[in-house]
Amino acid sequence: MKLNLAATATIVVLTLGQGAAAECVGKNLFDHLPAAQMDAIEAAIVDVPFHEGLIFEARRDDQRITLIGTYHFGDARHQPMIDRLRPVIADGNALYVEAGPEEEARLTKALAEDPSLMVDQSGATLPERLSGAEWQALADAMADRGTPAVITARMRPWYVAMMLGISPCMIRTMAEQGGKAGGLDHRLVKVAEEAAVPVRALEPWDTVFTLFADLTPQEELDMIRASLPAAGYADDYAVTLTDAYFEGDVWKIWEFGRFDAYANSGLSREEVDRQMDLAQARLMNDRNQAWIGPLLDGAAAAAAEDRGIVAAFGALHLPGDRGVLSLLQREGFRIERLD
């Protein structure tokens, strides 16, 4: 993720009701950006395929896929989307999501049985690997998120960096809700279950661990360093990204993270771009490509029954030359925006 996690963790944890974001208070940072920076962000997204929109239909002959870009945390503004999609899901042959209930249960079980998945129980601790100032900033930020320094010290860097991208308000609200994020994905799964529509996972339960398996020690620390500056105003960050999502400005979310890192991370533009490219490859492009096979197979099977399928996943997977929509377009599907 920074790898820039600050921009993507709210969409990825953001891979995994009323909910966290709706109860958080903050300002929309887009309203306070200098005009030149807003112009640069707009210029960066204008030529990105499918950079706007949350609901699309892909058609090829008699095959139909309804695609929904989701936000993984709760918000009252999800309800109109749920109401609109309820009949679409009920009429579908299956609902495809990043991780279904079975995969989430397996992940929860694995984490309970094997703490080493999240905690590095050997080797140097984070305070030993970071400078004194970096460690103090990290310890303070994680304390704001309910994790004491003695635990943070042994956490795996990718998980720490991901946590820094989630606002303290969201974490508190999730804790009050028994650990449930209440995001659109989960609510659509519930709709499918109520309609007796099968829910299928697009990827294995342990995908989140494989994303970071081959990072170098330096890349691991860079994730934390690049995520720290935005951690102090994560509530504002969350409001900004959530507002952009509900306006359908999907790729603006990603480019905002890039330009915020240019201004506040202390890294060079070249280093920010390198890490953003790595994040995009790991978190989006590689996974997007892996999802096409299951979607094509599902659409073909559904067409044989004169039905379509529905796919709901993080909104940042939709846009771009290597986004799911462009990949389906290359497979001969005609893409139509529905919202």
Q: What per-residue confidence (pLDDT) applies to 178?
A: 61
Q: In sequence order, what E strands does the chain have?
A: 55-60, 63-70, 95-97, 199-201, 309-314, 334-337
pLDDT in tens, 92-122: 999 999 999 999 899 889 988 998 888 988 8
Point out the least confidently predicted range of 176-190, 203-217, 228-242.
176-190
Percentage, residues of the chain above pLDDT 70: 91
Bridge partners of residue 312, in order along the sequence: 68, 97
pLDDT in tens, 237-290: 888 989 999 999 999 989 988 898 888 877 889 988 988 888 899 889 999 999
DSSP string covering 161-194: HHHHTS-HHHHHHHHHTTT--B-HHHHHHHHHHH
Helix (DSSP H) and strand (DSSP E) numbers for the chain: 18, 6
Cα-Cα end-to-end distance for the chain: 28
Locate 161 and state its tokens: 């960096």
Q: What per-residue confidence (pLDDT) applies to 135?
A: 96
Q: Please, which pLDDT band fits residue 179 given cuts at 50, 70 and 90? A: low
Point out the least confidently predicted range of 36-45, 85-94, 130-139, 168-177.
168-177
Mean pLDDT of the chain: 88
Extents of the domains making up the chain: 5-108+180-214+235-337
Site of tokens 């294995």: 204
SS3 6: helix
Locate 148 and state its tokens: 């004491």
pLDDT in tens, 35-80: 999 999 999 999 999 999 999 999 999 999 999 999 988 888 999 9
How many whole angstroms separate alpha carbon 210 and alpha carbon 224? 18
Residue 4 above 50 pLDDT?
no
Q: Are 169 and 20 within 8 A, CB to CB? A: yes
Phi-psi region of 147 (alpha: psi -120 to 50; beta: other; left: phi over 0): beta
Mean pLDDT calculated for residue range 154-163:
90
Point out the least confidently predicted range of 58-62, 212-216, 303-307.
212-216
Mean pLDDT calculated for residue range 183-195:
95
Phi and psi torsions of 52, nearest 5°:
-125, 150
Range with top average pLDDT, 2-11, 53-62, 155-164, 165-174: 53-62
Q: What per-residue confidence (pLDDT) applies to 60?
A: 98
Q: What per-residue confidence (pLDDT) applies to 180?
A: 57
Q: Please, which pLDDT band fits residue 315 given cuts at 50, 70 and 90? A: very high
Q: Please, which pLDDT band fits residue 7 given cuts at 50, 70 and 90? A: very low
Q: What is the model's pTM? A: 0.88
